[in-house]
Amino acid sequence: MSDRSIVKNAKRWVIKIGSALLTADGKGLDREGIAAWVEQVVALLDQNIEVVMVSSGAVAEGMSRLGWSKRPSSIHELQAAAAVGQMGLVQAYEFQFQQFDRHTAQVLLDHDDLSNRERYLNARNTLQTLMELGVVPIINENDTVATDQIRFGDNDTLAAMVANLIDADLLVILTDQDGLFDADPRGNPRAQLVSHGKAGDPALDALAGGSVGGLGRGGMITKLTAARLAARSGTNTVIVGGRAENVLTNLANGEALGTLLVAEQEPIAARKQWLAGRLQVRGSLTLDGGAVRVLKEQGKSLLPVGVKSVVGDFNRGDLVRCVDESGRDVARGLANYNASESRLIIGKSSQLIAEILGYCDDEELIHRDNLVLV
């Protein structure tokens, strides 16, 4: 299958639109732009393509309505701006989709919604039902209640996690740049567009920089990271300029636009996608070389004997990082024992757990079903 036929054959899309696009670089909601994107989304729906939209813009629209020219740093002011701006954002989408007799649904998510297994499954089922009904979900981070400790950090990450959540075929990130370049096109007129690549290619890191705008939180590096996160569920990603005429419908027709980042890896199981996508960890376990090899090469459970040290204060069932002796991430998983219990049994044979603790609920520190490589 050719690169662009991958896009053409995709039947479930997540489309993310950034703040700079949605708010005309801070001048208020770009209703003409929203109308154009909505018209294209409707055309995709008419081709039996399922669409979920992840929309930035609430904070930026709130800033515009409140007359603020600079993004505030206070979390409470940001939450107030989000609350004000969300009203205008939803109204704008609802009005445009109504022109085509299409229904929309507002869905606000925070990290707790995707960290809690029951809420994760509820969100998945709700989005699945909305798509079956032909309704277009408009998703945004729940900025009004999210704190720095539980926020996604940017809507690129949120969009990738939504792609994992619904097993999307394609993630389209609409941005104010035409795609990923081999140099910064704003300062180098000779910069060349990278038309395609592999999402996991580490060489792409050098091509991505930080955010230069004052409205959004993401830059090209967050889009590359999002593509890698989306790849865990086999989702391919296109990073493309959102202001290009008919960008969505032209992509659907197989036109080579933007940067296509292909997911090389086989999709991991839904439960492990959930584990991999969780951003909050409660502690970490340092593994010896043998344990690292067993996890990576044999896909086995983590036994206490292969752990050298424990960091943090976590409970049974909490998410912990597994790192090698150099501190590099190896895996994440749900601990079968709390931190104090883990400290007593690490480096020991599983047969000694009952003798050391007085009981043995599990022979493994982390069972392989609750562990995912990163």
Segments in 13-116 forming alpha helices (H) = 19-22, 31-46, 58-66, 75-98, 111-115
In 3D, which of 141, 33, 17 has the Cα closest to residue 78? 141
Q: Where are the domains of the chain?
A: 3-272, 281-373
pLDDT for position 145: 63
Mean pLDDT calculated for residue range 132-149: 77
State the DSSP H helix or E strand holding residue 340, giving kind and residue range, or none if neither.
helix 339-345
Contact 292, 299 (CB under 8 A): no
pLDDT for position 28: 74
Q: Which tens digits make up the pLDDT trace of 228-244? A: 889 888 899 999 999 99
| CA–CA distance, 94 with 77 (Å, rounded to integer) | 26
Q: Which tens digits make up the pLDDT trace of 203-220? A: 888 777 544 443 334 478
Instruction: Express as a percent the part of the chain with pLDDT over 70.
Output: 89
Contact 282, 366 (CB under 8 A): no
Mean pLDDT calculated for residue range 352-364: 92
In 3D, which of 179, 273, 194 has the Cα closest to residue 229? 273
Relative to beta strand 12-17, strand 170-175 is parallel
- Lowest-confidence region among 25-34, 158-167, 279-288, 326-335: 25-34
Cα-based distances in Å from 49 to 43, 170, 274, 312: 9, 11, 25, 45
pLDDT band at 354 (very low <50, low <70, confident <90, very high): very high
Q: Count of CB atoms within 10 A of residue 46's CB?
A: 9
* pLDDT exceeds 90 at position 324: yes
- Choosing among 3.40.50.460, 3.10.20.30, 3.40.1160.10, 3.40.50.410, the CATH entry for 3-272 is 3.40.1160.10
pTM across the whole model:
0.77
On whether the 281-373 domain is CATH 2.30.130.10, my answer is yes
pLDDT for position 218: 44
Q: Which tens digits make up the pLDDT trace of 44-84? A: 999 999 999 999 888 888 888 898 888 888 888 888 988 99
- 281-373 matches 3-272 in CATH topology: no
